[in-house]
Amino acid sequence: MADVVVDDLERVFRVPVREAGLGAAVRSLYRREHREVRAVEGLSFRIEPGEVVGFLGPNGAGKTTTLKMLSGLLHPSAGSARVLGHEPWRREREFLSRMTLVMGNRNQLQWDLPVVDSFEMNRAIFRIPRAHFEAARDELVDLLEIGDLVTKPVRNLSLGERMKAEIVGALLHRPQVMFLDEPTIGLDVTMQKRIRTFLGEYNRRSGASVMLTSHYMADVLALCERVIVIHHGRILYDGALSGLADRVAASKTITVRLADAHAALDGYGRVLARDGGRVTIEVPRTDASRVAARLLNEHEVSDLTIEDPPLEDVIERVFSDGDAAAASAAVRSGSPGSAG
């Protein structure tokens, strides 16, 4: 049975609006106007036990709103969701004891207490038996290498140190489902890598399902085999990470190292970069094999590689026109032109 089951999930916010000026301010006291903002619209997907799924999209796409509904913080306007067999917004104790939500821009630890005291508070909240708590705490502290930090007040920690402590605190009760909203936001490259390594190891050890949002594509590449891409609250793509470039990207890049640094390359494709004999060429995806064969036949080549464009560029192509319907059609058809 799937750990997360979502069917036609929607969330509409009713937002007050008014014009600028004193007159509009006075009128709003008697007759307030509102508009509806559809943050999430008709989402449907499944996440199987042990899956790590990237949940991608631009700012305002509905990612955080979706995670808040799945973790029980928000009620949906329509549709249904089941997490570990529970309706999240009922906030049943058994459900809360088996899931966790980590938000990179929210502090869940007690600011003035040593980290270890916040861990003790979580033990009491989740009613974790002492032996289980100490075993989990020691394992997680060791995995994230924060043994020298746990006696410090949270306010004295750097952002990266605090984020590692936040993750430990969120996992002490051994959740089966993890919702991670930008867990590496604002961290330096080294700290991002450490947290990615930890999350991958925790997933392997525990078999927990993970739903991850991140603007750092390195997080997604390191942890996720499957991605769900949303825009304006709608799903544009749900499938293998490797298949996203195949279905959306219009081109491939050929990097070739030539013996003749001055060789003419007119007619092969668009030259993106040239450094002596090392040349990078962009070619239509369907022409990549033919162009590579031509280069090998017509030039003295010491090395040649064919690659998909960077995943960041693929995602940007999906969203480039800001139109979810057009982008969705492009993903379904595999025609990148309508999305770009």
Contact between 61 and 27 under an 8 Å Cβ cutoff? The reply is: no
> Tokens at residue 91, please?
């906030």
Q: Please report, in tens digits, the pLDDT of each residue of the chain (340 residues total).
A: 899 999 999 999 988 887 777 877 777 777 778 888 999 999 999 999 999 999 998 888 899 999 999 999 999 999 999 999 999 999 999 999 999 999 887 788 888 999 999 999 999 999 999 999 999 999 999 888 899 999 999 999 988 888 889 999 999 999 999 999 998 887 888 888 888 998 999 999 899 999 999 888 889 989 999 999 998 899 989 999 888 767 666 788 999 999 988 888 888 999 988 998 899 999 998 899 999 999 999 999 999 999 877 776 777 766 664 444 444 554 554 433 333 3
Helices marked H in 172-239:
189-206, 217-223
| Distance, CA of 190 to CA of 288 (rounded, Å) | 35
Give the DSSP H/E element, type plus range, for residue 125.
helix 115-126
CA 308 to chain centre: 20
CA distances from 186 to 61, 196, 316 (A): 20, 14, 21
Domain coordinates in residue numbering, the chain: 4-20+35-224, 250-307
- Secondary structure letter of residue 153 according to DSSP: B
Q: What is the pTM of this model?
A: 0.78
pLDDT of residue 15: 85
Contact between 101 and 67 under an 8 Å Cβ cutoff? The reply is: yes
| Distance, CA of 51 to CA of 200 (rounded, Å) | 11
Contact between 183 and 102 under an 8 Å Cβ cutoff? The reply is: yes
The CATH number of domain 4-20+35-224 is 1.10.760.10: no
> CATH fold of 250-307, please?
Alpha-Beta Plaits (3.30.70)
CA 21 to chain centre: 40
